Structure 1
Amino acid sequence: MPRHHLALFAAFLTIAVLAPFFLYPVFVMKVLCFALFACAFNLLLGFGGLLSFGHAAYFGSASYIAAHSAKVWGLTPELSILAGTVVAAFLGLIFGYLSIRRQGIYFAMVTLAFAQMVYFFALQAEFTGGEDGIQAVPRGELFGFISLEADRAIYWLVLAIVFFGILFLYRIVHSPFGQVLKAIRENEPRAVSLGYQVNRYKLATFVISATFAGLAGGTKALVFQLASLTDVHWAMSGEVVLMTLLGGMGTIFGPIVGATVIITMQNYLATFGAWVTIIQGVIFVIGVLAFREGIIGVLSRKIKKPL
C-alpha cells in the first residue's frame, strides 16, 4: 500500500474513533453505513464501468432479512447481519447473471426493473410489515454476551465492519482482478481479444458489490432498529449514485467523502421540511457541476496523486 494511502486510512480510522465522543453516535454510524454502501457501488460503477440503478435492492433486502432475523428468529447481531448479507449476495448473483447480458442504458434499466420487483415484494410480503416496515428491532448481544443496546457499544462493531469492508474493497481494486476490471472498463473489446472472459469478471464484480451493499444495509437495520420501504426505494439507488459522483467516481476515498457530505446535508437540512428535496437537488447539481471529477478526483489531480 502506498504511503499516502496508508496515511489516509490512518486518518480515516483516527477520525472515526474520535467522532462518537464529539458527535451523535447514531449520526456517525449512518455516515459509516452509507460510506460502505457507496464504496460497494463505486466498485461496480467506478472500476467496472457498470451503471446500476437498482442497488437499493441489495441494501434494502439485507436490511429486511437482518431485522427479521434479529426480531423474529432471535439471532445474534453478527448472524443477523450475515444472513442479510448472504441474501443480498444471492440476489446479486441472480440479478447480475441476467443483467450483464445487456450493456449501457439497457443494463441500467434492467437493474432498475429488478429493484422495483424487490420493492413491490417488500410492500406486499407479510414478514416485511408492508408500509410500517419492521420496527423495534433488538440490537441483541454480540456473540451472545456483549450487549449492543447502548449507541457507543454498537458503534465499535459498525466501525469494524465498515473499516475492514472498505479495506477489503481497496485490496480488490489493487489486485490483479482489479487491474483486469479496469482494463474491461477502459476497452472491453481489447480485454476480450486478450483472452479474458469479460462476463465472468462483470458477474463477480456485480456479486461482490451487491454483497457489500447488503453488509451495509444489514448493519444499518440494527443501528436504527428499523427496516422500511425507504431502504428498497429507487430514491436510495439515486442517492448512492450521487454520493459516488460527488465524492469521486473511480477513486477509493471519494465515495466516503460523498456519503459524508450527503448524509450531513440531509441531517442539517431536515428543518426545511418539504423544501428539503428541492434544496438538496440544487446543491447536488451545483456540486456535481463544480466537481466534474468528484471532490477527491479534483484534489487528486491537483496534487498529481490518485486517491
Structure 2
Amino acid sequence: MTDATHTTSSTFTGARHLRTVMLIAILIFLIAAPFLFYPIFVMKILCFALFAAAFNLLLGYTGFLSFGHAAFFGGAAYFTAHAMKEWGTTPEVGILIGVAGAAALGLVIGLIAIRRQGIYFAMITLALSQMFFFYCVQSAWTHGEDGIQSVPRGHLFGLIDLNVTTNMYFFVLAVFLIGIGIIWRFVNSPFGMILKSIRENEQRTVSLGYAVDRYKLGAFVMSAALAGLAGGLKAIVFEFATLTDVAWQMSGEVILMTLLGGIGTMIGPVVGASLVVTLQNELATSDFPVTIVTGLVFMACVLLFRRGLVGEFYASRLGRRLGFRPEQ
C-alpha cells in the first residue's frame, strides 16, 4: 500500500468516525430537547422536518417539483383526526389510516401527474390539490372551515398515555426517526439509484430498459405516504386538523423549507424546516409580518447559498474533507 493510499484511507476512516460522532450528538440533543425547550415547539419542528424530508424524496432525488403535497399532509391529518375522534381508534391505528389515505391520494394524483414533466407536472399537482382542498371545505365529515377539533391523543398500543407531554414527545421522535430511516434506506437502495438516474437523464434511463413511469409513480406514492405520516402525527400533537393543512400555502412552505436546507441532502430539509418553524414561532407575537421575514431569509439564501445551507456546507472544503456529498 502506498503512502498516498494509506493517507486517503485514514482520512476516509476519520471522516466516517467524525460523522458517526455528529449523528450521536444530534440524537443525544433530540433526546434532551424536551427538557431544554418547549416540547410542543420541538414536536412541531419534527413533524414539519419529516414533511420536508418526504417532499425532498420527490424533488431532490427524482427531480419532480410538486405544488400539491399539502393534499397528502393535510389529508392524512383529516383521516387520522376523524378516525381517532369518531371511530375511537388508538394513535398508531389512526396514523396508519392517515398514511394509507395519503398513499391512496398519491396514487390517484400520481397516475395523472407523472404523464407530464416540468411546470406542467407542478401545475397538475397544484390543480388536483386545490380540488381536494375544496372537497374538504364542503365535506361534512371534515366540518368545513371549523375543521376537526378536540382530537383525543389516546393511549399508544392501549398502554402509553400520550396526554403526558413527555410520552407524546418521544413517540413523535420515534416516528420521525423511523420516517427518516425509511427515506435513507429508500434513497440508498437500487430503486433510489434509478430515481437519481431519472433525475439526471430520463431518456437514457428509458434506453436502458427501465419502466420509468413505474419508478416515478412509486417515488410519488412513497413521498405522499411519508408526508401523510407527518400530517397524521401533527394532527395528534395539536389535537386538530384544519383547512390550513391542505391549503396551497402549506405546499409553498414545504418547498421553502426544502430549498432553504438544500435539496438532494438528507439533513437539509430538517434544517430548513427548523429554520422556518423557529422564525414563525419567534415572530408570532411581533407586529412585523412573518411572511416578509421568511421571504427575506429565502432571498438571502438564494443569493448567498445557491445549494441551500446544508448543500453549501457539503460543497465546502470542510464538507468535502468530512466525506459529505449532496446526494447522500
- TM normalised by structure 1 equals 0.97
Residues 132/70 of structure 1: CA separation in 2 closer, same or farther (3 Å cut): same
Is the partner of 1:271 in helix, strand or coil? coil
Residue from 193, 212, 232 that aligns with 2:246: 232
- For structure 1, the residue ranges without an aligned partner over 5 or more in a row are none
Residues 153/55 of structure 1: CA separation in 2 closer, same or farther (3 Å cut): same
Cα drift, residue 291 of structure 1: 1.2
Cα drift, residue 210 of structure 1: 0.1
Distance 1:297 1:83 in 2: 35
1:252 aligns with 2:290: no
Deviates more, 1:166-175 or 1:213-222: 166-175
1:24-57 CA-partner distances (Å, limit 9, x unpaired): 0000000000110000000000000000000000
1:235-279 CA-partner distances (Å, limit 9, x unpaired): 000010011100010011100100101100000011224622222
- For structure 2, the residue ranges without an aligned partner over 5 or more in a row are 1-15
Residue from 116, 119, 128 that aligns with 1:105: 119
Distance 2:219 2:149 in 1: 33
Residue from 204, 219, 225 that aligns with 2:233: 219
Cα drift, residue 5 of structure 1: 5.1
Is the partner of 1:134 in helix, strand or coil? coil
Cα drift, residue 11 of structure 1: 2.9
Q: What's the % identity of the aligned pairs? A: 57
Distance 1:6 1:177 in 2: 25
1:112-123 alignment, distance < 5 Å: 112-123=126-137
1:178-197 alignment, distance < 5 Å: 178-197=192-211
1:205 aligns with 2:219: yes
Distance 1:255 1:167 in 2: 14
Cα drift, residue 3 of structure 1: 4.7
Residue from 257, 264, 273 that aligns with 2:278: 264
Residue from 210, 220, 243 that aligns with 2:257: 243
Cα drift, residue 114 of structure 1: 0.8
Tell me which residue corresponds to 1:161: 175
Distance 2:41 2:177 in 1: 17
Residue from 30, 46, 60 that aligns with 1:32: 46
Cα drift, residue 10 of structure 1: 2.4
Distance 1:8 1:74 in 2: 41
Cα drift, residue 7 of structure 1: 3.9
**Matched length:** 306
1:63-88 CA-partner distances (Å, limit 9, x unpaired): 00101111111000110111111000
Cα drift, residue 20 of structure 1: 0.3
What letter matches 2:100 in structure 1?
Answer: V
Distance 1:220 1:273 in 2: 27
Distance 1:127 1:70 in 2: 13
Residue from 126, 132, 137 that aligns with 2:140: 126
Residues 142/6 of structure 1: CA separation in 2 closer, same or farther (3 Å cut): same
1:71-110 CA-partner distances (Å, limit 9, x unpaired): 1110001101111110000000111011000111000000
Residues 94/8 of structure 1: CA separation in 2 closer, same or farther (3 Å cut): farther
Cα drift, residue 189 of structure 1: 0.7
Tell me which residue corresponds to 1:279: 293
Is the partner of 1:272 in helix, strand or coil? coil
Cα drift, residue 150 of structure 1: 1.7
Is the partner of 2:284 in helix, strand or coil? helix
Deviates more, 1:115-124 or 1:205-214: 115-124
Residues 5/210 of structure 1: CA separation in 2 closer, same or farther (3 Å cut): farther
Is the partner of 1:270 in helix, strand or coil? coil
1:118-142 CA-partner distances (Å, limit 9, x unpaired): 1111111111111111111100011
1:140 aligns with 2:154: yes
Cα drift, residue 164 of structure 1: 1.1
1:290 aligns with 2:294: no
